[in-house]
Structure 1
């Protein structure tokens, strides 16, 4: 397994990739939320930066427009493709992301789909499945995989949706902390349910929720509830050989410090 870092797309991408190399990383996931950045010009900047610093982009993490409330009260109404009010626009956001990913030679596109319906007998379930299928088919035509970022649904609900969509180009970006932050599962045990679909991993740590409205707290790797030795052993058992992409959702010098400490911690395990 290789170690990487979660990087946000900007016009300063060459500097970002230079910093990755200076810190000893060779891979990243590239995050983009703004459609205005998904241009030919930006693709050229990314491709040149990749070449300059020999960085492998393992996935494009593609966001979408509209409100996003990362909690349990408003999250189900605002996140991903689940809310009908935003669904069509966000499908277009993801398809544009697919075209951009093709320009930069990336075959895996990850996103949060939202709080996927648990009940397969509802109209909402079938509508969400149809929307995801349309996006997945579009990405399939571009030779790509659509990855579900874990967290907002139970592992079995996620697998059920993947099976219902059934396009053959679906995978999972396992965020080790999110399953805990949302109170949905232990990431090691979750691999028993959906392990064969994992194509990417966010190395992140966190604590379980302590009330019914707010997510748990993200913390530096090694200080939360993720059992990284067991997680990495289980990934190896499943034959996973992709990247572990370190994600620390803070900013400033503390973020860099935590990322480098996480790198040292994970290197001992892999």
Structure 2
């Protein structure tokens, strides 16, 4: 396993990839929250950045237009494909992401689907499954996989959704911290349910919620509740050989220091 990092697509992608190489990273997941970047000229820049830096892009993480609220009240009505009012437009964005990812030779595309309803008979659940069938079929034509990022749904609900979609190019980007932050599962136990589907993993740490309205608190790697020694051991027993991609959204003056500290921590565990 290699240790990668999240990197955002922007105008300075060539310098950004150069910086990642200087910091000792060999891979990244490329994140895009603005569809203006999903066009030919930026694909050319990304390909140039890859060639110059030798940074591998393991996945393209596709965001969607606002509103976007990360909490337990507005989150269910704003995030992902679950809210019917935004589903069609966001489906279009995810199809566009597929074409962009093809131009930069990336096979896996990741997103949050949203707060998937636990009731498979609900209208929103059925609507999401229908939309994801369209997305998965489109990705199949481009020889790509659609990966669900964990967090806003229980592992059982996510498993059921993939089974109901019934396509072979579905997978999971396991974010162990998100399972805690949203109070949905212990990430070690989640591997028993989702293990065979895992195609990507985030290196991120955190705690369970202590407020019914707000997510749990993210922590620097090794300082939260994720048991990374057990997690990585279990990933190895599942024959996972992909990268662990560090995601740190704690925006403070210690962010870079904590990322590099987390990189060393994970490198010791994956040996």
Q: Give yes or no for TM over 0.5.
A: yes
Alpha-carbon deviation of 1:105?
Answer: 0.3
Alpha-carbon deviation of 1:23?
Answer: 1.0
SS of the residue 1:18 aligns to: helix
Give the structure 2 partner of residue 241 of structure 1: 241
Give the structure 1 partner of residue 39 of structure 2: 39
Alpha-carbon deviation of 1:173?
Answer: 0.4
CA contact under 8 A between 2:205 and 2:224: conserved in structure 1?
yes
Please list every run of 5 or more consecutive structure 1 residues that lacks an aligned counterpart in the other structure: none
Alpha-carbon deviation of 1:127?
Answer: 1.3
Give the structure 1 partner of residue 197 of structure 2: 197
1:162 maps onto 2:162 in alignment: yes
CA contact under 8 A between 1:28 and 1:57: conserved in structure 2?
yes
SS of the residue 2:31 aligns to: strand
Q: How many residues are paired up? A: 270
Question: 1: distance between equivalents of 2:5 and 2:125?
Answer: 34
TM-score (norm 2): 0.98
Give the structure 2 partner of residue 119 of structure 1: 119
Alpha-carbon deviation of 1:120?
Answer: 1.2
Say which is worse superposed, 185-194 or 123-132, in terms of deviation. 123-132
Question: 2: distance between equivalents of 1:17 and 1:253?
Answer: 21
CA contact under 8 A between 1:66 and 1:86: conserved in structure 2?
no
TM-score (norm 1): 0.99
Root mean square deviation, CA, Å: 0.8
Give the structure 2 partner of residue 264 of structure 1: 264
1:254 maps onto 2:265 in alignment: no
1:172-217, Cα deviation, whole Å (9 max, x unpaired): 0000100000000011110000110000001000011001100000
Give the structure 2 partner of residue 104 of structure 1: 104
